[in-house]
Structure 1
Amino acid sequence: APDAPTGAVLADWRGVITAADRDRYQRRAAAWSLALEQSRRQAGSGDLASLGDLIDPAATRAGVTPPEGAYRCRTVKLGSQGGDGGLGYVVYGWFACRIENTALGLKLTKLSGSQRQAGLLFPENDREMVFLGSMALASEPTARAYGQRPERDMVSVLERIGESRWRLVTPWPANESNLDILELVPAPAGTPARRR
């Protein structure tokens, strides 16, 4: 990640994003289209029908910036990089996430689960924030800064899809699916944000 003066907010993701992630970002409509088509045609794991607006690309609302705090989050993987040989979708259980204000801006961290992303949220418009982050796997420590391990870098778009409901959409993830969605809802008051 680029060096920034202490306390400076990185306002523009365009100066930070890698060429590979810029390409993924620019092709996100194609990722939605292919992933939804595969998820409706191929067998999967979980209840796809119950996801509603979570898997509707047009379900975005204004006022995207989420409040700081503890969140419950779950991943939904749509489509298969293995074509017809893979699962069309997988709906995972709930884990812990956190959104916090840092010296560089708003940071999103998935605290538990076997795939844990962490990165910064950059304001784009009233309906989108661009996430540039990295992924930690299994028992690895927290993800490294964006740009340090290209195979783990990720670009995503944060969108608000309900009164207190957001999704982080990752087009063309490195493994398994063609579109990953991290659903985020505020954790009930008093729920500790746990690392597992």
Structure 2
Amino acid sequence: MRIAAIVGLLCGCAALAGCGGKDRPAPGGTAPAGAVAPERNWRLVATDDDRNRLRGWRDTWLAAVDKARKGGRGAAIDGLHELADPDRALTDPLPPAGAYRCTVYKIGANGTAMADFTAFEPTDCEIVGGGGLLEFHKTGGVQRPDGLLYPDGARAVFLGTMVYGDEDKPFRYGQDRLRDMVGYIERIGPKRWRLVLPAPRFESMLDIIEIVPA
């Protein structure tokens, strides 16, 4: 009888532990992590630092835009229209594999040498699919985010690293926290997407990369 009681108690504790171990939802709200295949679960890959950056994306967005407006760049922000709307997210968030043009917007200066709003010329980028997760590669410019896209409800989480200058290979994610990048990609219009990178390490408080077919 005592053995049966102990077994019952242990089973009850295990059930309670399972109920208390749910993952936090990703931005936009998603299913618990346990419902996602391990190889497609960004939560099992992301560093703690990047989890925090992603968790605070909205506060970062609002603070960056507020800083840009206070710096006299309100008209530039307004000119981005839906690109600068934090709640603009349509169904089917992932762009299909192919060639694209990417335009980087840096919002909110991080340091005294940067402007509160900078728009760069469009450069080449691509989405690559190989039977697993889609890959995002920015192939033009001196700063080139490179990483994987993890489907996550109405958005897809981006985990990758920054490639600089004439470097031809990205660092492995998690190898250098100053290179690590986290963000999310979503569709904001017909054949139009954006990659949002909250709290990048240098220059800006928020990067938004507009993605359109080449």
Same fold per TM (> 0.5)? yes
Q: Does 1:134 align with 2:161?
A: yes
* Matched pairs, number: 177
Task: Find the aligned partners of 2:79 and 2:119 in 1 and give their Cα distance.
Answer: 10
- CA distance in 1 between counterparts of 2:39 and 2:129 reads 12
Letter in 2 for 1:160: R
Deviation at 1:50, TM superposition (A): 2.5
TM superposition shift of 1:145:
2.4
Is 1:124 matched up with 2:157? no
Aligned match of 1:24:
53
CA deviation after TM superposition for structure 1 residue 49, in Å? 3.6
Name which of 119, 132, 148 aligns with 2:175: 148
Structure 1: which amino acid aligns with 2:103?
R
User: What is the rounded CA distance, in whole Å, between the counterparts of 2:40 and 2:77 in structure 1?
Assistant: 36
Compute the TM-score of the two structures, normalised by the length of structure 2.
0.78
SS in 1 for 2:127: strand
Q: Contact 1:95/1:112 (CA < 8 Å) preserved in 2?
A: yes
Aligned CA RMSD, in angstroms, stands at 1.9
Partner of 2:109, secondary structure, is: coil
Q: Deviations over 1:6-39 (max 9, x none)?
A: xx98210000000110110111011111011011
Q: Separation in 1 of the partners of 2:82 and 2:94?
A: 18
Q: Residue 98 of structure 1 aligns with which residue?
A: 126
Aligned residues of 1:9 and 1:105 also touching (Cα < 8 A): no
Q: How many angstroms apart in 2 are the aligned matches of 1:167 and 1:142?
A: 24
The CA deviation at 1:138 is 1.4
- Relative distance call for 1:9 and 1:141 in structure 2 (3 A) is farther
Alpha-carbon contact 2:125-2:137 (below 8 Å) kept: yes
Rounded Cα–Cα distance in structure 2 between residues aligned with 1:98 and 1:34: 30
Of 105, 110, 125, 2:138 maps to: 110
Q: Are 1:161 and 2:188 counterparts?
A: yes
Please tell me whether the aligned partners of residues 166 and 184 of structure 1 are also in contact (alpha carbons under 8 angstroms): yes
Larger helix proportion of the pair: 2
Structure with more relative contact order (C-alpha pairs < 8 Å, separation 6 or more): 1
1:40 shift after superposition: 1.4
* Amino acid in structure 2 at the alignment position of 1:143: P
TM-score (norm 1): 0.84
Match in the other structure for 1:184:
211
Given that residues 135 and 143 in structure 1 are in contact (C-alpha distance below 8 angstroms), is that contact kept between their aligned partners in structure 2? Answer: yes
Alignment map for 1:36-115 (pairs within 5 Å): 36-43=65-72, 47-82=76-111, 86-102=114-130, 104-115=132-143
Moved over 4 A (4+): none
Corresponding letter in the other structure for 2:189: G
**For the pair shown, which has the larger CA radius of gyration, 1 or 2?**
2
Q: Secondary structure at the match of 1:151?
A: coil
Answer yes or no: is the 8 Å Cα contact 1:168–1:183 preserved in 2. Answer: yes
Question: How far is 1:47 from its partner?
Answer: 4.2
- Give, in whole Å, the separation in 1 of the partners of 2:177 and 2:39: 20
